[in-house]
Amino acid sequence: MKTLIRSVKIVSKNSDLNGQVKDIFVENGNILHIENDIHLEADEVIEGKNICVSIGWFDLRVHPKEPGNEYKESFQSMEAAALAGGFSEIALLPNTKPVVQSRESVNYLKRAGEKVKFHPMAAVTLKCEGKDFTEMIDLHQAGAVAFTDGEHPIQNPDIFLKTLQYLSQFGGVLINRPEDSNLTHFGQMHDGIMSTFLGMKGMPQMAEEIMLMRDLKLLEYVLNTPFTELPVDKSILHFSGISSAESVNLIRMGKDIGLPITCDVYAHQLCFTENDLADFNTNFKVNPPFRTQEDLDALWEGLEDGTIDAIASDHNPQDEESKKLEFDMAEFGVIGLETLFAAINTFNEKISLEELIEKITVNPRKILQLPIPSIAVGEKANLTVFSEDEEWVYREKKIISASKNSPFIGKTLRGKAIRVIV
Looking at residue 275, the DSSP 8-state letter turns out to be G
Instruction: Please check whether residue 313 is in contact with residue 336, taking contact to mean a CB–CB distance below 8 angstroms.
Output: yes
Which amino acid appears at position 49 of this protein? Answer: K
Would the pTM of this model clear 0.85, i.e. be above it? yes
Q: How confident is the model at residue 233 (pLDDT cuts 50, 70, 90)?
A: low
**Cα–Cα distance list, 134 to 98, 126, 129, 150, 172 (Å):** 13, 5, 11, 14, 14
Q: Is the pLDDT of residue 365 over 60?
A: yes
**Cα–Cα distance list, 321 to 184, 316, 326, 328 (Å):** 23, 14, 11, 13
Instruction: Please check whether residue 267 is in contact with residue 300, taking contact to mean a CB–CB distance below 8 angstroms.
Output: no
pLDDT (tens digit per residue) in 236-245: 999 999 999 9
Least confident of 127-136, 163-172, 179-188, 317-326: 163-172
Domains of the chain: 57-373+401-412 (3.20.20.140)
| Residue 230, pLDDT score | 59
Pairing verdict, β 30-35 and 44-46: unpaired
CB atoms within 10 A of CB 275: 14
Strand runs (DSSP E) across 204-297, as ranges? 237-239, 261-266
Q: Residue 343 and residue 413: Cα distance in Å, rounded?
A: 6
Average pLDDT, the chain: 96
According to DSSP, the residues that pair with 87 across neighbouring strands are 57
Q: Residue 280 and residue 388: Cα distance in Å, rounded?
A: 32
Residue % of the chain over a pLDDT of 70: 98
Q: Is the pLDDT of residue 208 over 90?
A: yes
Q: Write out the DSSP string of 300-350.
A: HHHHHTTSS-EEE--B----HHHHSS-GGGSPP-B--TTTHHHHHHHH-SS
- Contacts (Cβ under 8 Å, ≥6 apart) of 250: 209, 212, 213, 216
Q: Is the peptide bond before 204 cis (omega within 30 degrees of 0)?
A: no
| Residue 211, pLDDT score | 98
SS3 247: helix
Burial of 346 (0-12, 13-18, 19+ CB in 10 A): middle
Strand runs (DSSP E) across 149-196, as ranges? 174-176, 189-190
Question: What amino acid positions are annotated as catalytic residues?
Answer: 314
Q: Is the pLDDT of residue 231 over 60?
A: no
Instruction: Please check whether residue 175 is in contact with residue 148, taking contact to mean a CB–CB distance below 8 angstroms.
Output: yes
Q: Is the pLDDT of residue 406 over 80?
A: yes
| Residue 224, pLDDT score | 86
pLDDT (tens digit per residue) in 268-295: 999 999 999 999 999 999 999 999 999 9
Q: Write out the DSSP string of 379-422.
A: SBP-EEEEEEEEEEE--GGG--SS----TTTT-EEEEEEEEEE-
pLDDT (tens digit per residue) in 33-78: 999 999 999 999 999 999 999 999 999 999 999 999 999 999 999 9
According to DSSP, the residues that pair with 315 across neighbouring strands are 62, 334
Average pLDDT over residues 326-340: 97
* Segment holding 374, helix H or strand E: none
Looking at residue 288, the DSSP 8-state letter turns out to be S
Average pLDDT over residues 313-320: 97
